[in-house]
Amino acid sequence: MEHKHHHFSPLAQPSQLSPLSQPGPGKPFQCPPADPIMTDPERVVRDFYHPQRVQVIHPIQIVNRHHCVPVYEHVYTCSEVDEYCGTHPHPHQGMLREK
C-alpha cells in the first residue's frame, strides 16, 4: 500500500508564529492544528456464504423382465373299450376288441 505524504516547510521560527501560539510567561508552547493526511483506502473483504440449491438428478430405469416358468398341469384322458367275455372257452377270450 502506498501512502501519500505532504511535505511541510521546516518548523516556523518563533517570530513567525501567531501571538496566541507564541510561548509566554506561564504559557507552554502549542503547535497549530495540522491538516489531516489522507491515506489510500484499505480494502477489507468480508465473505458471506449463502446456501444455493443445486438439483442432483439420479435417473432410475425400471426393467420389467418376463420369464416363462413351466407349471405342470395334469390332464387325464379317458378312453373306453369293450372286452368280450363269453361262457365258452374261446381262444381270444379276454382280449380287447375295438368298436
Q: How many CB atoms lie within 10 A of CB 14?
A: 10
pLDDT-based confidence at 16, cuts 50/70/90? low
Task: Report yes or no on whether pTM surpasses 0.85.
Answer: no
* pLDDT mean across residues, the chain: 79
| The predicted structure's pLDDT at residue 67 | 97
